[in-house]
Amino acid sequence: MLEKLEALKRRYDELSESVSDPEVIADNKKWQELMKEHSELSPIAEKYDEYTKLSQQTEQAYQLYEQEHDEELRALAKEEIDENEKRLEELKNEIKILLIPKDPDDEKNVIMEIRGGAGGDEANIFAGDLTRMYIKYAETRNWKVEMMSQSVGDSGGYKEISFLISGKDVYSRLKFESGVHRVQRIPVTESGGRIHTSTVTVAVLPEVEEREVKIDPKDYRFDVFRASGNGGQCVNTTDSAVRLTHYPTGIVISCQDEKSQLRNKEKAMKILLSKLYDMEAQRQHDEMASERKSQVGRGNRNERIRTYNYPQGRVTDHRIGLTLHKLDSIINGDLDEITDALITTATAEKLNNKGDML
């Protein structure tokens, strides 16, 4: 592994020279590509520099400790050795984490799909609660939210809703939200005061470009129809709503939020591309999962991942056994504690899978 680190350091040094070369700078596309690689290698190169320098200092301290006869100097050398070895161990772990292959989708925006499941009207109402939770969380991280499509529930909330969240590292923090979310509470529609259990399904799809997914125009069809529901003056006056059908998969997507038929088509296609991309990623994940099952990550879409218990004011993530008695703040967008714990668990799993590296 040290050989790999040395090779990465040499590549980093080469890139440092290249990005300062006037000829490379003149080619903006090439310069941007090299700068991106340089930026990705920078943290590893810096940690490796610190590791090698500290290793040399520790070796010198060992020599002093073994050769020196003055007990006071030996004590100082021993103190330096102990401190350096502690920091070297920390650096090893930090470098291990940096060397873990990154999820290529981590920097992407996401399309979130939320659907009411078991529980009828109450499930739809909770789908609305989760939608607000994610929108508020996006606001705390300065992410942008754009509605894609929605079907409003009869008693409030949503039967189904899709929205795009864009910003820095959105997928890396939201990808663990895919799965079944369960709520236990007394529904507003319940007159007898009984606690009901309902479910909502959340899917987190990385936003993709057309070049990332091959799709034959013969494999899909657009139908246009008149929009219905809330939508202003254009509702029921123009055929702006669209329905996109993908024959090979049977996926059907309807969009009517925009007044423009073209914009609705663009949104529907964006959703379809993300769905197809995610289906292929899920297939590859399932093949690998047959060899090793992880606690978090791309799980089964039907897997129950979290319970929101209102009478007890608690939220439990079943994958990592985390229970927090702060339901009110979580449902109001305070998701960082859960998200950080999931990321830490996923990172630890990857480290365990790679074994000793240094």
Report pLDDT for 357. 46
Report pLDDT for 236. 46
Please, what's the largest Cα pairwise distance for the chain? 95
- Cβ burial, residue 253 (10 Å; 0-12/13-18/19+): buried
| Interval 125-141: pLDDT, tens | 999 999 999 999 999 99
Which pLDDT tens digits describe the chain residue by residue (358 residues)? 778 888 999 999 999 999 999 999 999 989 998 998 899 899 999 999 999 999 999 999 999 999 888 899 999 999 999 999 999 999 988 888 888 778 888 889 999 999 999 888 999 999 999 999 999 999 999 999 999 988 999 888 999 999 999 999 899 999 999 999 999 999 877 767 789 999 999 999 999 887 888 889 999 999 988 766 544 444 445 678 899 999 999 999 999 888 888 989 989 999 999 999 988 887 776 665 554 455 565 545 568 999 999 999 999 999 999 999 999 999 999 999 999 999 989 888 877 765 444 5
Q: pTM for this structure?
A: 0.75
Pairing of strands 314-317, 322-324: antiparallel
- Cβ burial, residue 224 (10 Å; 0-12/13-18/19+): middle
| Interval 232-261: pLDDT, tens | 444 445 678 899 999 999 999 999 888 888
* Domain coordinates in residue numbering, the chain: 2-99, 110-290+331-348
CB 274 within 8 A of CB 206: yes
Please name the CATH architecture into which domain 110-290+331-348 falls: 2-Layer Sandwich (3.30)
CA distance 152 to 121: 11
Q: In what order do the strands lie in the sheet with 110-116?
A: 144-152, 158-166, 110-116, 196-206, 179-185, 304-309, 314-317, 322-324
Four-way CATH pick for 2-99: 3.30.460, 1.10.3470, 3.40.1620, 1.20.58: 1.20.58
Same fold flag, 2-99 and 110-290+331-348:
no
Structure tokens at 342: 């999931």
